[in-house]
Amino acid sequence: MADTLKGNAVVGQSGGPTGVINASLVGVIEEVRKHADIENLYGAVHAVAGMVKDDFIDLGQIGTDTLETVAASPSSALGSSRDKPDEEYCRKIIEVFKKRNVRYFFYIGGNDSANTAHILNTVADETDYNIRAFHVPKTVDNDLLVTDHCPGFGTAAKFVAQALQGDDLDNRALPGVKIDVIMGRHAGFLTAATALGRQRDDDGPHLVYVPERPVSMDKFLADVEGVYNKLGRCVIAVSEGICDTDHKTWAEKLAENEERDAHGNIQLSGTGALADFLAGQIKTNLKIKRVRADTFGYLQRSYAGLQSQVDVDEARQCGRQAVKFAMEHDSGSVAIQRTGDGDNYAVELVRTELKNVAEKTKSIPDEYINADGNGVTDAFVKYAMPLVGGLPKTEYLGTYPKI
């Protein structure tokens, strides 16, 4: 338990946007207003990039109607940044914090953001400037440790599940091979979620490839041929981070795009190269004429007007809980614990240390991937289904008995 600490607060949003990162922001804002120890709440414009140059807006003046619109809007309403601050960068931020008497810091983001909060807290301690640093989890990749799942995943999962429901019906109507490339550099949760909307035995995606299961081109082609020969069509969900048996990603092998971001990652989203490469392999090797490939791209993380209600509610609660924790603790990350499942799905929010989340990633557990490494298990569906907040029922008539 920490003593009472009076001062101002900063909140920021970092990394790739999601459909509910703004709900977490609103959760922070509305909870801060309940605590007299926090006088002003400053929104960091473009995350650490704004913090280091003293670039803030006043979040105390925003009306509740506007806040509700913010909570329903995708992307990061304060702006984001891909900067990865080192200690020197963080020392500059702490100077800004001192000038503004910022004593509370809430950072909504992935594992890099947890690390930033951790460094900021450490640097502040070193200069005997007391701050409370809290991380609020978000990522469509669902790859943070400790937490059962990440706010942002459920909404992205809903988007891709409904996309595949539609795409599978499209593929029934005009049969062929369809490849859909899904976000997820290292973790395949979102790619796996494409399977959530399946209703009929022969519904697609028929093959699901995640980064956790390297696959050779020969195996990939044999899988596709097997499904195509059986059903006369094949819908495939492939993670952008899919890799060959030598663990090198196919996207890297393409080497068509050498751009790397500040974190040393190669660009995978925002290009159709991988999808087109895979389509070309199938056309050339399997002699299947109608092969199409879509790369879902940024629609997965920032589509307006489509949220999982469960995800929105949890994201907002995580923001609120971070503020509550900050009243009593020095630092931490909010984690979701699942306390009930199925119809009794329920969660509790707990605090974990920043270092437990910082710079680490979670992969899909083995029991969520089938033995053949090309599909998901019922255990995954049971895990992920409550997070999407319901999926539409669909119907296809073309397979009804002939008259």
Within 52-81, the residues that bind its own copies by CB under 8 A are 55-59, 62, 66, 69-70, 72-81
- For the bound state, the minimum distance from the C-beta of residue 30 to its own copies, rounded and expressed in Å, comes to 14
Nearer to its own copies by C-beta: 281 or 370? 281
Tell me the number of residues near its own copies by CB under 8 A.
Answer: 78
Active-site option among 83, 112, 141, 167: 141
Q: Which of residues 10, 24, 31, 42 is near its own copies by CB under 8 A?
A: 42
Interface mask toward its own copies for 188-227; x: CB under 8 A: ---------x------------------------------
User: Is 141 a known active-site residue?
Assistant: yes
- Choose which of 27, 43, 85, 204 interacts with its own copies (CB under 8 A): 43
Residue 353 to residue 115: CA distance in whole angstroms: 11
Under rule CB under 8 A, which residues in 247-276 are in contact with its own copies? Answer: 259, 269-273, 275-276
Q: How far is the CB of 209 from its own copies (least distance, A)?
A: 18
172 binds its own copies (CB under 8 A): yes
Query: Applying CB under 8 A, does 371 fall inside the site for its own copies?
Result: no
Site string for its own copies, 132-171 (x = CB under 8 A): ------------------------------xx-xxx-xx-
**Rounded Cα–Cα distance for residues 117 and 2 (Å):** 18
Instruction: Report the alpha-carbon distance of residue 304 to residue 245 in Å, rounded.
Output: 38
Reduce the DSSP state of residue 308 to 3 states and report it: coil
| Contact code string over 304-343 relative to its own copies, x by CB under 8 A | xxx-------------------------------------
Pairing relation of β-strands 331-340 and 132-137?
parallel
* Sign, CA torsion 74/159/142/87: negative
Terminal C-alpha separation, the chain: 74
d(CA 97, CA 12): 13
Task: Give the nearer residue to its own copies in terms of CB position, either 55 or 148.
Answer: 55
For its own copies, the closer CB: 373 or 389: 389
Closest separation in Å from C-beta 339 to its own copies: 29
Of the pair 129, 396, the CB lying nearest its own copies is at 396
Cβ proximity to its own copies: between 182 and 364 the closer is 182
Residue with tokens 């392999």: 281
Cα separation, 145 vs 359, in Å, equals: 10
Per rule CB under 8 A, is residue 16 in the interface with its own copies? Answer: yes
Torsion of CA 46, 51, 55, 60, to 10 degrees: 90
Collapsed DSSP state (helix, strand, coil) of residue 93: helix
- Residue 45 found at the interface with its own copies (CB under 8 A): yes
Q: What's the CA gap between 141 and 154, in Å, rounded? A: 10
List Cβ<8 Å contacts ≥24 apart for 222-230. Answer: 223/372, 223/374, 224/177, 224/282, 224/286, 225/286, 228/177, 228/286, 228/288
Residue 107 binding its own copies, by CB under 8 A: no
Nearer to its own copies, 165 or 331 (CB): 165
Beta-strand relationship, 38-44 and 177-182:
unpaired
Closer by beta carbon to its own copies, 166 or else 365? 166
Residue selected from 95, 125, 294, 353 as contacting its own copies according to rule CB under 8 A: 294
Cβ-in-10-Å burial (0-12, 13-18, 19+) of 288 comes to middle
CB of 37 to its own copies, least distance (A): 20
Distance, in Å, from the CA atom of 29 to the CA atom of 50, rounded to the nearest integer, reads 18
Q: Which residues are catalytic?
A: 141
